[in-house]
Structure 1
Amino acid sequence: MKQIAVFSDVHANLPALEAVLEDIAQRNIQEVYCLGDLVDFAPWGNEVIEVIRSRGIPCLMGNHDERIAFGHPVIPLPHHDETETAHRQTAIAYSKECITPANKEWLATLPKQISFTHEGYRVQLVHGSTRSNEEYIYVNHPEEDLEKMFRDVQADTIIMGHTHLSYHRITRNGYHAVNCGAVGRSKEADRAATYSIISLTAEGPTIKIVKLPYDNIQVANAIYQSKIPDFYGHFLLGK
């Protein structure tokens, strides 16, 4: 059996990342992947990057990583109101100011996708979708299009992040779509640091979604004491 841990969307939340990595270590899982979005919304962007780099964890380029690495402008999202859009622009500007040149250079080298095969079973890792690191694939995504993505990359399982909402969905033809949730800025009611464990055998995958508590009050207070908008501290506390 091959066992891997996959996490995504740390968003500069070091305490949440530490909780996830400690849990993975306690389970003695040796193969670990990150699907990107290491930066923005909490104060520890450089520290998070340095943890991933120092541990040699293979990592994808999330859309936030790409924006910080290359200085791309912030484009308003249709599901954000004017208030959240303004807060988002301020938070991303903070990252652009604070992330070191060396860490920006490293972010620029990250791949958009990773794939591997175990006993003929192919797994594709993406941030948003197989087409873009900015595309949102929710649990209710149209079945026909979802299966087309599997066929296009010839994968049996696709593991995603980006939406900050975890799920495991099996399509009518037996493909496994997994969203591993978010480590640092979960949009689920519990706000837990969330990741996935995938166990691969000759019979196929077993998927486990793991939710961990962490000191979100500490993170919120750190946000309040920084130039990052209080909006993101309130979000972590469910306000």
Structure 2
Amino acid sequence: MSAMPLDRIALISDVHGNLTALEAVLADISGRGIERIFNLGDYVGKGPRGQAVVDRCREVCEVNLLGNWDDFLPDPGRTEDREGLRWWKNELREEQWRWLRGLPFCHDFVLSGRQVRLFHASSTSVHRRVRFDHSEAEYLGMFENTPATGDGPVPTMVGYADTHDPFFEEDLGRTLFNTGSVGNSLGDPTPVYVILEGVLDSTEPAPLSVQFVRVPYDAHAELAVARELGMPELDAYESEIIHGLYRTNFYSGTPDGYHR
């Protein structure tokens, strides 16, 4: 009996206005013949070309989800704190602000007999962060239905993003993974995305895989664009996309600590 053909879905997230990284990842996805792309949010902020990133993701992504930056950056009450926030907001078109704020919280589907749920940060909010060194309670909470996720079938596989820190974990019959970041990867600044492979929309058990892909790109070219456009917080952006050092640690002089 011949095996059932497997579907492939590329999961990208946290592009953060880094168009050069996005195009490198999209080229890799295309080169593999993958046509379905799901985006787990954070299109804007930190990098210089949020407007172009939003347009590109609207063009190529079948699913686009809400991220924490997409939620708070267009909010006029929350973007006056510093020059960078005002700059990233004003670089977008007004209709893009509305599109970002209106994005869905999560996306549920079935793959190879597994109930899969994707969201940006946690099951309760795009602003609640769950790191790789989470507690068991945090782990179990990622699989729960909440007012944010709605009352769909409870997932046995959850993919999320937000922390820019890819990982894969299985326990208690459940699978949790983090896609990492395309445009602002920390620790290793090389963009990373995930390929899910399995039988889409099938409730029958079938082969299933989660693959992490690193895609080199010209980070110095992206930094040059940011400088040319006059983007604020350039030193912090350089620390992130060149050295993989989170800007909070850069400002505080801490050599590392994004994981803590």
TM-score bin (small chain): 0.7 to 0.9
State the Cα distance separating 1:151 from its structure 2 match. 4.3
1:1-239 aligned at under 5 Å gives the runs: 1-73=6-78, 89-152=82-145, 154-171=154-171, 173-188=172-187, 190-201=188-199, 202-203=205-206, 205-225=208-228, 226-230=230-234, 231-238=236-243
Is the partner of 1:69 in helix, strand or coil?
coil
CA contact (8 A) 1:180 1:194 kept: yes
State the Cα distance separating 1:112 from its structure 2 match. 1.0
Give the direction of change, closer, same or farther, for the CA distance of 1:136–1:197 in structure 2 (3 Å limit). Answer: same
CA contact (8 A) 1:42 1:228 kept: no
Is the partner of 1:169 in helix, strand or coil?
strand
Q: State how far apart, in whole Å, the 1-side matches of 2:72 and 2:144 are.
A: 29
RMSD of aligned alpha carbons: 2.0
Q: State how far apart, in whole Å, the 1-side matches of 2:61 and 2:50 are.
A: 17
State the Cα distance separating 1:102 from its structure 2 match. 1.6
Q: State how far apart, in whole Å, the 2-side matches of 1:74 and 1:205 are.
A: 42
CA contact (8 A) 1:41 1:228 kept: no
CA contact (8 A) 1:219 1:233 kept: no
CA contact (8 A) 1:41 1:232 kept: yes
Give the direction of change, closer, same or farther, for the CA distance of 1:177–1:137 in structure 2 (3 Å limit). Answer: same
Residue by residue, what CA displacement relative to the aligned partner does 1:142-188 show, whole Å, maximum 9, x if unpaired? 123312432436111111110000011111x1211110000001112
1:222 counterpart letter in structure 2: V
State the Cα distance separating 1:116 from its structure 2 match. 0.8
Residue by residue, what CA displacement relative to the aligned partner does 1:23-79 show, whole Å, maximum 9, x if unpaired? 11111112210001000111111000000112243111101011123334159xxxx
Q: State how far apart, in whole Å, the 2-side matches of 1:213 and 1:60 are.
A: 25
- State the identity %: 28
Instruction: Select the structure that is richer in helix.
Output: 1
CA contact (8 A) 2:117 2:155 kept: yes
Q: What TM-score, normalized to structure 2?
A: 0.80
Q: What TM-score, normalized to structure 1?
A: 0.87
2:121 counterpart letter in structure 1: G
CA contact (8 A) 2:130 2:138 kept: no
* Number of aligned residue pairs: 225
1:215 counterpart letter in structure 2: D
Give the direction of change, closer, same or farther, for the CA distance of 1:112–1:151 in structure 2 (3 Å limit). Answer: closer
State the Cα distance separating 1:97 from its structure 2 match. 1.5
Consecutive unaligned residues of structure 1, counting only runs of 5 or more, are 76-85
The higher-RCO structure (CA 8 Å, 6+ apart) is 1
Q: Highest CA radius of gyration, 1 or 2?
A: 2
Is the partner of 1:114 in helix, strand or coil?
strand
Question: 65-74 or 203-212: which moved more?
Answer: 65-74
After TM superposition, the runs of 4+ consecutive aligned structure 1 residues lying more than 6 A away are none
1:181 counterpart letter in structure 2: G
